[in-house]
Amino acid sequence: MAGRPSVTARVLDVLAAFTTDRPRLTLTEISRRSELPLTTTHRLVGELAAWGALERDEDGRYGIGLRLWEVGALAPRSLGLRESAMPFLEDLYEVTRENVQLAVLDGTEVVYVERLSGRAAVNVITRVGMRLPLHATGVGLVLLAHADAELQERVLAAPLRRYTDKTICSADELRRVLADVRRTGVAISDGQIELVALSVAAPVRGASGDVVAALSVVVPATGTNPLAYVPVVRAAARGISRVLGHH
């Protein structure tokens, strides 16, 4: 039948049914969220579970399996980057005892590839593998500020989602912020995703000098001087850049 989705497309629809806010789903929920017939969903889920891409818990709900996580961990941009960055992330965490995050650009979103956090650190919603929009995060502002002009204009032309009263939702304001990030070499995002948290981020460069990732520390918004964190965040980002071949 013309226009019928391929088996690969249907498998991807099943996997895409799982999200940060819905990591465990019943077979019926997977069918509904993937917009596939229940019989098709049952067959695909069974095959995915047999391979290890999905796992079934005692309540009969399914979640992403360890086999899929193993494959995802082999992504080149994440694998070499994380290995190079980890010593510097650990050092930054030891100095600050706050949330330390590493993220990369993917389309018009930021994807978190590593995060270190302590019990006393301010609560944040981010986790490894999570996606957030570029305009509302410190790492996102760094990556967007150094992205190509076409991507910047695409983000500026689209609606900017509001998370809090402090979220940047104006294209003109976002342009000014991006110019400041390029000028100062750091991004400070105060209460844009959650009012309790403030992020200080810096770019990580590869051998060619292009920005390949962004590093941030997330601290309490109240009573914090973000400028006090700029030197250590910059130093960690420069250290990772040197390991990646940037001089």
Asked if 215 and 102 touch (Cβ cutoff 8 Å), the reply is: yes
Averaged pLDDT, 26-53: 93
Residue with tokens 């049952």: 42
Q: Which residues of 148-179 are buried (b: 16+ CB within 10 A; e: fewer)?
A: eeeebeebbeeebeebeebbbbebeebeebbe
CA–CA distance, 221 with 244 (Å, rounded to integer): 32
pLDDT at 22: 87
Reported confidence tier of residue 45, pLDDT bands at 50, 70, 90:
very high
pLDDT at 78: 57
User: pTM, whole model, 2 decimals?
Assistant: 0.76
Asked if 138 and 181 touch (Cβ cutoff 8 Å), the reply is: no
- 117-169 confidence digits (pLDDT tens): 887 788 788 888 888 999 999 999 999 999 999 999 999 999 999 999 999 99
- 193-239 confidence digits (pLDDT tens): 999 999 999 999 998 999 999 999 999 999 889 999 999 999 999 99
Return the bridge partners of 202, or none.
215
* φ, ψ dihedrals at 95, nearest 5°: -75, -40
CA–CA distance, 138 with 166 (Å, rounded to integer): 13
pLDDT at 136: 94
Reported confidence tier of residue 1, pLDDT bands at 50, 70, 90:
very low
